[in-house]
Structure 1
Amino acid sequence: MKKISKNLIVVLSIALILGLAGLTATFAATDPGLGAASTFSIVAQTAITGTGTISGDVGLNSTGAGITALTDAMVGGAIYSTDAVAPSTASLSPSVQANILTTNGDISSQSSTGSIGPVLDGLVLTPGVYDIGAGRLNGGVLTLDGAGVYILRASSDLVSSGSINLTNGARACDLYWQVNTLATINGSSFAGTIIAGTGVHFGNGVVLDGRALALGGDVTLLNNTISGPTCATPAPVPPASATLHVIKTVINDDGGTSVASDFTLNVTGTNVSSSSFAGSATGVDVTLDAGSYLVTEPSVPGGYSQTASVDCSGTIAAGETRTCTITNNDIAPTLISPTPTPTPTSTAPSLPNTGIGSDGRIIPWSLVSLVGMFTTLIILYFTRKKQTV
């Protein structure tokens, strides 16, 4: 008995896991595609009445007589019918109707994400397949949030006087409405490809970003604009802030020992995330508002020079990233030679000045000596002469 219970638990666990996996798969809608019908803005079976501005092709799965007011000038593509008689200019290929039927069958076969509505006003949906009963959008807004395929299936009719808000990547070309009977679209705008069983009728001035494809019945226009559906991806909104990548480079090729973190860097600008920080060899990211900025090094340690790259100052735009590099290079020490000790020199003694002559010049000792010798000789001469007498 215990063995049976254990086996039962294992089986139930596996079934639960597989069941959850199956549920996860049902949440994802896949694009059914339209094949040859993808270029058509309008396809009807019995008639196309009224006027409007149509961006794509228009097709009537009947004779051209069923197109009562629409002209070539109102249509960006071509007008097709089964007999290619005015106002039609070309014959409608059977593949167009066949592809619409295939698309409708694909939509019917997809697993449901869930049932909602029938009132759709104020709902916010993510991509998926939704059953909406007799869908009603009574003047409010249905929001589709996120990129992906949206399929909304009405079991009877669809009546709208509201609008569709596409946000966060949701696109009109990814939105499909399957309506079992009649789709009546009023209000000011609508979005998506409408595939209706018995016809599509538009109120006055409605703008459709999508297609109106009637599997049976007619399409009725009243001064409407049918364009698209647009598949352009919305341009991303650039961030309000910009980024500075600040790098500190230290070169020690002349005996220096400092590292990047020994240097302080400052950033000035608007709403700077970090206005002062230690340098980093790998860089520091600083966010700031778009506008002018300046990266500085308030003090440079002794023995280092400083240079800054061109992007360390200027004007930066929102969403832009710039790299500023401040480089410090160590300075080689200056060698100072010692002052040599002077060698003493001997000075020969000199005689005192002899006096100044009448012309203002010093009388040289050579002249004094000569006069002295001459005077001495005169004296000796007269002395000896006197002794002789």
Structure 2
Amino acid sequence: MIEQHRIALRNVGRIDPASIQDYMDRGGYDALKKALQTPSDQVVHDITQSGLRGRGGAGFSTGLKKKYTSQASCVLLECMRYIVCNADEGEPGTFKDRIIMEGDPHLLVEGMVIAAYAVGAERGYIYIRGEYHQSITMIRSALVQARRHGFLGNNILGSGFSLDIEVKLGAGSYLCGEELTLLESLEGRRGYPRVKPPFPAESGLFGKPTLINNVETLSHIPAIVINGARWYRQLGTETSPGTKIFTISGEVNHPGYAEVEMGIPLRELIDRGAGGMKDGKRFKAALLGGAAGTFVPESLLDVCMDFDALKEKDAVLGSGAVIVMSTDQSILTMLDSILRFFEHESCGKCVPCRVGTRQLVDLLKRLKGAEGKRPDHVDALVYQSELMANTSLCPLGQSPVLAIKSAVRYFRDELETPQISQSRWR
């Protein structure tokens, strides 16, 4: 078994998640009490100093997000600020946020209240994908209990700070996991992406400064407040401090999840975290970060799993999903599934994505077929995905290039075929 260092999952399996008393008996809401006795700008400073980076996939500094939101100027004299928790976990292979919401919902609530206090938000929303029925039930129950105990509502714990949080449900759109599209949905409109800038910290929900953080990100905040930034920086790597929840699936003996320090080698994560390859099969590749991720081959099994080490290898950490493939599986088939997924989820607002995703699927269809295949179809696939990445409005259209270029870089021979026809790609 792998040695875990649990922060976001420290209470999972150890408390009754439906009981606020169980949570409080293990120090729950002590961080909130401490934060409310600290100047809000100091809370922002401490989170910034901790080096916590967004666990939703982008890896942006959480402290800087809070700083920009708290310092955003308002046109009106009375400036409303919002905080939004992105719990619309739709990335294939990812289920880390569900574990937190179902196993320790009060940790998310506490982290969210602290973050709201830090930026001066008066209203909060937790946007949960509608299919997460148990998560929705647990979070709603936790919010009710938190209000009864004075951790939500008016004048929280006599501090003069007020906040209430409401649950909003997603309707199954993958695109609404992107923060600006999520805001459109929260405002009651169709989930179409917005043009940025402006960014949410400046003009977010209803045009007001808005802090948007992922479930896992917010769940790290109470521990940082209690233990300090220096303690947090001792975990993980210099540029990617702390821990990360990895969700491991595919051709492994024990699919599941593990929260470990950033920088763990991929090989250790698979061998010790998931019991190694299933039925003694040989490792072929891992898709890191879900559909919006990258393939890594056997030669990169010892790569460190953190934001910057992976970036140096032209790979991404993303949401922390690790989908393991064995040598008897096809990269072409996996890539085809990814591109069909993007075609299905494209909102169609911008031409490069609407048309481009369909063209990518058509190209993959030709590569999978026996007739009409040419080696230059692979180059066309790369070209089309790069064009989409440079011209699409939102991250969905910008994502296929990641999986495609990594597949071509490491598995080009498999994508090409010796059967060359004289037909031209158009």
Q: TM-score range by the shorter chain?
A: under 0.3
TM-score by length of 2: 0.22
Relative to its length, the structure with more strand (as a share) is 1
TM-score by length of 1: 0.23
Relative to its length, the structure with more helix (as a share) is 2
Q: Which has the larger radius of gyration?
A: 1
